[in-house]
Structure 1
């Protein structure tokens, strides 16, 4: 394996000895120093995908460090810029931080201090570029018509290619995958990309419909067909005319009904209960299962002839464990959706959060990941957006909160974010949340929040 290339650090100073000394220190620490004697020369070499940080003196002939900071941030607000100030020049340092400097070094400084500051800046830059790449990937995938298969892992790319091909031909499809892997999304993607996209998509969970009424649900009935049938009812198959029927958990369909489904697949017609005249159907059937239907057929739990009728085109849906490289991208996607829906904002994941995502086993697959992303947006403020704390509650009895507790956590996070946004100014918080001042103070007391603690965040 190739060693990763050293990350670049721009060193900008009109004094040659400082450029040389700082460059040697950073090179020994594993970075690639890029020395410039002027801000103008450094900006000419700055590219949009620059993966490092800038270290610049403030006082230089021509363009000074403050002007460089403003120009660099106008090009890329996420680019870390570290400014070097003279001894005791506190006012300049405060101004630099207000202008968005990542940090500042006061002359003279130790090499270890420079390396540590650059290390933190490089880590921030890496996360910024990763999030930028994730957002670009999401925007590209969201431009595609119909439901989106988000991901760039080979397994999901193969699935997306097969979905595109299958959607253009008229054939029934069997989807096979674990619970929560996204079988419903794949079925909808096939439907939306096909010529049937403008017609109904009718989803039926075969395991959720009582056996006593499933035949009526699927095929409909005539008035008087049985006790309680006071009027004609159109079944799911007939309602999907021209479109697609999605039969989820088809392994749960009663054996007695499977033979009738086989006849529907072969004849493309149904008979309502209590009727003798068949109704012709123009539709596609997509079935989904989380079990091996062939083994179920051999064990007598599923009709063998129906299995062979369904398995002409089988699409395996990869589990989340088989596409771990997609986990951060999917999390970002679900967090953006949750943020847009709730009107809340959540910070991008840090390195520890991404590591926690990748280390988790994900028994609930994409569904579990989506739920976690929604919890991160809605309740993350209650645990300082530490993903590890939210993950500890996923799948454990202690982490399942009653509805009143979840509502309180959500309310507390809303008040917390409003206090942060308005730096503890109570009148502005009341206006944003639409609360009387007394009500807000009651809630602050209830949740142990103090407006004065947030006023410090206004300082540079």
Structure 2
């Protein structure tokens, strides 16, 4: 808030105004005093960074008029009202109408300073959240939903850009929590079908007896309890995108029917022989190797070929550690906006600790950790290795090397791959840094002597 007016003080009594302005200035605030609401009007603008302190009783427009104007023009700006003894009930009503606080005359300078300080903290939080919303919007324009700087994520973004405008079926392969649905939604939102439905079905969550009726719909009387017509997911997604998560869980009998719909573009509801044309793009997601399921006879080879025109592989976070910090910071911004909290700034140690952790729950676990951190209910850095069986098998030397690699990788990212700047940041010689980079398989980008 440097070089921006912090306090607009409106008081018609020149002695009180001068004393109050001086007290606030001595406390370090940037203050402007005005004798009337009309005189202060030009200083109250939409991006006012500070707070307004106004006497209730003024010549011309009153402090209550100032409050009403602020509620209309700058609703987030805190208004503190100064009142005489006889105006307390009026001030209490003003607080119900949106005033931040009131101060009763005569008041000590400390009371004024403390009230202004608290109001400014609230105003700073509001302005920060506005900035966070703009930053999130900017991120979504550049790379909607897909956050990261690793080569794997760059490849994912390229595939999405190339494939989204087409109707090609896509199979997304990745562990639980890796963000497969986010990729599916990005494919939909960047496609010509973006204005049509995006229907997500978790094949692993549907009981097998309900699978066919959920996917194909049914007519009244098709089975016991079918009292009225129901449109199935395939029909509802027509014109848009159908996302089939955990496709490996789909029963074999339904795989045959789904294949027929994908080949012919026609389905029949349960209890009906009437063909219904459907035209939906199918994006499927799976964890594990689908070819193994085909070999085991639990998934049809011809359906896999139909779904697997393009494969997008989404590696776990443990294999793309350079994405962990950008993702965590993005999730912190999002959580700060949702919860109305300031976004913390990570230290270098916290960044390194985040990168050291394997995050077996992947993006989902990382998002939850960011939420807890913003809410102040979790310490940072997170307990690395706590409860992770893989970490329990590591020797001390292996853990130290893993931590050192994470620190160097993050420092390289922060300096844009400049080896000289990275060496200065880590307080090591360039020769030592080169040796460690070679040992850990890290590479610099661009001019390494910058």
TM-score bracket for the superposition, by shorter chain length: 0.5 to 0.7
Displacement of 1:283: 1.1
Match of 1:142 among 140, 143, 167: 140
2:332, 2:244 → 1: CA distance? 29
Displacement of 1:386: 2.6
Displacement of 1:368: 0.9
Do structure 1's residue 353 and structure 2's residue 350 form an aligned pair? yes
Contact 1:376 1:387 in 2 (8 A): no
Structure-to-structure mapping, 1:319-338, within 5 angstroms: 319-338=316-335
Relative to structure 1, the CA distance from residue 395 to residue 239 in structure 2 (aligned partners, 3 Å threshold; closer, same or farther) is farther
Relative to structure 1, the CA distance from residue 139 to residue 196 in structure 2 (aligned partners, 3 Å threshold; closer, same or farther) is closer
Match of 1:305 among 298, 302, 307: 302
Displacement of 1:301: 1.5
Contact 2:357 2:385 in 1 (8 A): no
Q: Could you say what secondary structure the match of 1:314 adopts?
A: strand
1:328, 1:98 → 2: CA distance? 36
Q: Could you say what secondary structure the match of 2:282 adopts?
A: strand
1:135, 1:349 → 2: CA distance? 19
Q: Could you say what secondary structure the match of 1:286 adopts?
A: strand
2:170, 2:261 → 1: CA distance? 15
1:214 aligns with: 211
Displacement of 1:379: 3.0
1:341 aligns with: 338
2:50 aligns with: none
1:379, 1:394 → 2: CA distance? 22
1:260, 1:328 → 2: CA distance? 44
Structure-to-structure mapping, 1:277-296, within 5 angstroms: 277-296=274-293
1:185, 1:324 → 2: CA distance? 19
1:189, 1:279 → 2: CA distance? 28
1:268, 1:215 → 2: CA distance? 17
Gap regions ≥5 residues in structure 1: 1-69, 76-94, 100-133, 397-460
1:228 aligns with: 225
1:163, 1:365 → 2: CA distance? 20
2:370, 2:162 → 1: CA distance? 31
Displacement of 1:138: 6.0
Q: What RMSD over aligned residues (CA atoms) do the two structures have, in Å?
A: 2.8
Displacement of 1:393: 7.3
Contact 2:136 2:333 in 1 (8 A): no
Relative to structure 1, the CA distance from residue 306 to residue 255 in structure 2 (aligned partners, 3 Å threshold; closer, same or farther) is same
1:137, 1:177 → 2: CA distance? 28
What TM-score do you get using the length of structure 2 for normalisation?
A: 0.55
The size of the alignment, in residue pairs, is 267
2:324, 2:333 → 1: CA distance? 14
2:133, 2:356 → 1: CA distance? 22
Contact 1:155 1:322 in 2 (8 A): no
Displacement of 1:218: 0.4
Match of 2:158 among 158, 161, 177: 161
Contact 2:282 2:307 in 1 (8 A): no
1:197, 1:156 → 2: CA distance? 22
Per-residue deviation, residues 326-382 of structure 1 (Å, max 9, x unmatched): 2111111101111111112242111221111011011111111111001101134xx
2:76 aligns with: none
2:192, 2:142 → 1: CA distance? 16
Q: Could you say what secondary structure the match of 1:388 adopts?
A: coil
1:386 aligns with: 380
1:272 aligns with: 269
Relative to structure 1, the CA distance from residue 288 to residue 182 in structure 2 (aligned partners, 3 Å threshold; closer, same or farther) is same
Contact 1:327 1:357 in 2 (8 A): yes
1:304, 1:221 → 2: CA distance? 28
Displacement of 1:137: 8.6
Contact 2:199 2:237 in 1 (8 A): yes
